[in-house]
Each structure stands twice: as structure tokens, then as C-alpha cells.
């Protein structure tokens, strides 16, 4: 950004911020003055939705004031400065309005912690949805990870009904909010189709961090990027239609086919995994074989090569068929001119032997010694496999394939044992 544009942008924002709140145009973001002296909360907002036994800081009052005006707000403050107070008020506000609030965090562990904290404040009217946990999903306040939220938006399974507020903790990618703004029930929040519009409708509350948004520059950059993405989008849509995930002609039931609905439940490599699993080759396999074969999709690229335990002889043909299917998907994407990243077809067979040994009740310490992989890395891979099997099971239930769903559940049960069922691991040295 040139200095001239930066000065003009700063001057424009300062002019907007200097206006009374009721006169500020809704299409501009503005900076709140952190040095502003505000009265106590009960004087600033008559009948507030929530109160605290301590006096709030200025930035907390400013954020709450924005929420009461039905404005979107970004709170940027140091760690332990009290940003959670704003989230608590937003949740209380939704409970008073009889609408729904969703709180997201980037990590499952943070979601679990926030679920416990909010239950102490709001009681049983708090639910949680993660990859392997669903508790009180009809509650007014719902805790989930960002990935689960985005998947919920695209599947539109009823969770978004009466949604009023979405609270995102440590959220750094505003582009993911563009689809989300379509679902919010507040009429004052417009559809954010462009990055500039999305940023423009957010009131920025800050404590000691000040950033100037050059909105016009963002719009120009977005135009160039959007032209490139449209070509990629058309190519990917053609691939999905060719594979049968989307209807080739408009359908009264929607654009998604049976395969497309199933793929929406799988959060990583959904197209690749769905294409292989729904092919019919897994239904009659033993659960231990299913778990071993699907481990091909959870082996991280950074994990070292594993040659022991080897792939069981009776699974080599199935692994070859899966590899061939992945190669066909890559070729199909290339034919339509669609870029296929390694995350879309990341398939490694290193864990097949180790997973098969674990599913057959093998000792974890023995498997670690044979693979040469750190125990923590192997344990995380098995946990990712458990989550993948749970997602496939949920996908099968959604499309009415109960036989395949029971097969996936049985496969998950073979590996979800021992250390995988332990929430935390501690090493204790006993004195002899």
C-alpha cells in the first residue's frame, strides 16, 4: 500500500469515527477510541443482558454497545485482557432474544474447555459438536470448531435455524465468513459477497492494536483473484458432475446427489474417500481390514516412511485398487483443467500394516518398536483414523446405508481401545 493511499484511508476512517454512532454509514468500518470515558454498563445500556461483579474496561463496554446495535465487531486485545466477557454478553443476549449463538474455536481442546466454562455460567443450555462428540445440539449456545461450523453451513442440516450471533475465537481468515453471513438471521447484516464489503460492515474495537484497512485496495485485489477462482470453480463443478456428486440438470431436491450428501459429512478428502468407500468393496470386508485400508488417508506427509509391519498379503490387491482409483481421480481433474492439491488425494500406505496389527489387538509398545515412529505420532494417526471412520459412519446414516454404517462403526471399535480412549497421558515414575 502506498503512503498516499494509507494517509487517505486513515483520514477517511478518522472522519467516520469522529461522527456520532447513529450517523456513521453502515458500509464503513470504524475504530473505537480506547481512551473514551464511558459510564458504568447499567447506565450505558439500560437493562443489560448480563452483568458482572467488576467494572468493565472501556473496550468491553464499546464491544457490548456494538452488539446491542446489531453490529458486527472485532475485538483485538492482549491475552487475558477480558475478550471472553464480550462473548459471554453475546450469548446472554441471544438467550434473552430466544435465538441461537454459536461459539467456535480453532482447536477441539479449546472447544471442550469453553464448553465446560460456559456450562458453569449458563447451565445445561450449552451444547457442543466436535468430530467425535455431540452433546445437547438443540441448545441456545452451541460450541464447535471452525471446521464443523463451515461444514454445518454448507450442509444446512437445521443447526443454523434462528442463528443470531457467531463468536469466533482466534479467527484469522475472514474469507471463511462470506458464506456464513448468508445464514445469520439479523436483518442488519448484509450478504458479504466481496471482501471489502465484509470488512466494511465490521466495527473494530481495539485496545492497543491499531490497523488501517485500505478497503479500495482490497476490492481491486479481490477482483483479480475472483476471476482466477471462477475458472477453477467451473472446472471443479464439472468434475463433481462427472463423478455423480452433483446433478447435471436442476433437480427439485437440490443440486447434491446421494454421493454429494455423503461427501459433505467427511471433512478432509471428502470426494476421494466417498468415491472409494461407496464403491461397494468395503461392505463385505472384516472390520480390521476396513480400518487398515482407510488408514491410507490419515498418514501425514511429514511422517517418516514405515516399512514394518508390512502390508498383509490379503490386503495388497485392495491397496492397489485404491491407488488406481486415486490415480483415475487425478487424471479426471487434469482432463477438466481442475487443480487437485495433495490434500485432496493424500494417500499413503505406510500405516496399513501398523493399523492392522493394532486392530488385531496387538500391543501398542510392540507396534511402536517395529515402526520406529514416535509413540505420540502413531497415537495421533490412530485418533485421526477414528474420527474419519466416525465421519464416514455419519455419512452412511445420512444417505440411508445402514449396512455400510454398521461396518464403519465396527471398524472404529477395533481401534478405539487402550490409549486411544485416554483423554490425557501422563508418565509417572514410582520410587522403588
Tell which residue, 129, 85, 123, 125, has the closest CA to residue 105: 129
**Tens of pLDDT along 38-90?**
898 888 998 999 999 988 988 899 899 989 988 888 888 877 888 889 999 99
Strands of 72-76's sheet in order across: 30-31, 202-206, 72-76
| The CA-based dihedral angle spanning residues 133, 138, 142, 146, taken in that order and rounded to the nearest 10 degrees | 60
Question: What is d(CA 167, CA 90) in angstroms, rounded to the nearest whole number?
Answer: 8
**Tens of pLDDT along 282-298?**
888 999 999 999 999 88
Degrees (nearest 5) of the Cα angle 111, 113, 119?
A: 100
Q: Domain segments of the chain: what residues?
A: 3-213, 233-421
Question: Does the 233-421 domain belong in CATH 3.40.50.261?
Answer: no
**Which DSSP string corresponds to 252-267?**
TT-SB-HHHHHHHT-S
Contact criterion met (CB below 8 Å) for 215 and 196: yes
**Joined grid coordinates for residue 88:** 459471554
| The CA-based dihedral angle spanning residues 400, 401, 407, 411, taken in that order and rounded to the nearest 10 degrees | -60
**Tens of pLDDT along 160-192?**
778 889 998 876 555 555 556 555 544 333 333
Half-sphere exposure of residue 235, counting CA atoms within 13 Å on the CB side?
14
Contact criterion met (CB below 8 Å) for 58 and 38: yes
**Joined grid coordinates for residue 146:** 471452525
DSSP bridge partners of 107: none
For residue 19, the model assigns a pLDDT of: 54
Q: Please report the beta strands in 49-125, taking only residues with DSSP state E, as ranges in sequence order.
A: 72-76, 100-105
Name 206's Cβ contacts closer than 8 Å, sequence gap at least 6. 31, 32, 34, 59, 75, 76, 77
Question: Does the 3-213 domain belong in CATH 3.40.50.300?
Answer: yes
Given a cut of 50, the residues of the chain with pLDDT beneath it are 1-14, 16-17, 27, 185-213, 426-430, 432
Amino acid at each position: 500500500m502506498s503512503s498516499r493511499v494509507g494517509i487517505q484511508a486513515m483520514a477517511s476512517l478518522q472522519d467516520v469515527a469522529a461522527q456520532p454512532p447513529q450517523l456513521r454509514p453502515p458500509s464503513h468500518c470504524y475504530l473505537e477510541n480506547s481512551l473514551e470515558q464511558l459510564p458504568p454498563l447499567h447506565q450505558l445500556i439500560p437493562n443489560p443482558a448480563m452483568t458482572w461483579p467488576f467494572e468493565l474496561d472501556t473496550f468491553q463496554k464499546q464491544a457490548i454497545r456494538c452488539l446491542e446495535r446489531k453490529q458486527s465487531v472485532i475485538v483485538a486485545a492482549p491475552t487475558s485482557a477480558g475478550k471472553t466477557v464480550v462473548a459471554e454478553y453475546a450469548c446472554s443476549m441471544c438467550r434473552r432474544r430466544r435465538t441461537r449463538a454459536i461459539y467456535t474455536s480453532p482447536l477441539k481442546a479449546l472447544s471442550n474447555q469453553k464448553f465446560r466454562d460456559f456450562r458453569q455460567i449458563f447451565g445445561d443450555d450449552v451444547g457442543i459438536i466436535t468430530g467425535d462428540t455431540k452433546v445437547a445440539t438443540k441448545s441456545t449456545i452451541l460450541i464447535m470448531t471452525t471446521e464443523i461450523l463451515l461444514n454445518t453451513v454448507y450442509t444446512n442440516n437445521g443447526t443454523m435455524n434462528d442463528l443470531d450471533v457467531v463468536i469466533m475465537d482466534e479467527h484469522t481468515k475472514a474469507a471463511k465468513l462470506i458464506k456464513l453471513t448468508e445464514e445469520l438471521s439479523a436483518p442488519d447484516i448484509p450478504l458479504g459477497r466481496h471482501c471489502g464489503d465484509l470488512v466494511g460492515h465490521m466495527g473494530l474495537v481495539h485496545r492497543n492494536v491499531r490497523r488501517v484497512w485500505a478497503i479500495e485496495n482490497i476490492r481491486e485485489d479481490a477482483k483479480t483473484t475472483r476471476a482466477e477462482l471462477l475458472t477453477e470453480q467451473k472446472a471443479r463443478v464439472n468434475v463433481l458432475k462427472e463423478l455423480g456428486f452433483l446433478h447435471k440438470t436442476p433437480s427439485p431436491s437440490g443440486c447434491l446427489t446421494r454421493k454429494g450428501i455423503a461427501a459433505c459429512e467427511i471433512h478432509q478428502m471428502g470426494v476421494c474417500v466417498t468415491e472409494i468407500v461407496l464403491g461397494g468393496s468395503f461392505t463385505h470386508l472384516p472390520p480390521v481390514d476396513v480400518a487398515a485400508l482407510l488408514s491410507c488417508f490419515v498418514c501425514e506427509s511429514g511422517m517418516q516412511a514405515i516399512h514394518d509391519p508390512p502390508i498383509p498379503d490379503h490386503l495388497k490387491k485392495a491397496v492397489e485398487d485404491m491407488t488406481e482409483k486415486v490415480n483415475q481421480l487425478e487424471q479426471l481433474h487434469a482432463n477438466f483443467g481442475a487443480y487437485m492439491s495433495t490434500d485432496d488425494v493424500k494417500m499413503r500406505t505406510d500405516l496399513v500394516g501398523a493399523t492392522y496389527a493394532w486392530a488385531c489387538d496387538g500391543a501398542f509398545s510392540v507396534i511402536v518398536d517395529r515402526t520406529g515412529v514416535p509413540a505420540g505420532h502413531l497415537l495421533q494417526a490412530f485418533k485421526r483414523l477414528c474420527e474419519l471412520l466416525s465421519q464416514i459412519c455419519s455419512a452412511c446414516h445420512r444417505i440411508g446405508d445402514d449396512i455400510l454404517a454398521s461396518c464403519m462403526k465396527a471398524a472404529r471399535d477395533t481401534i478405539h481401545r487402550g490409549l486411544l480412549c485416554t483423554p490425557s497421558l501422563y508418565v509417572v515414575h514410582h520410587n522403588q
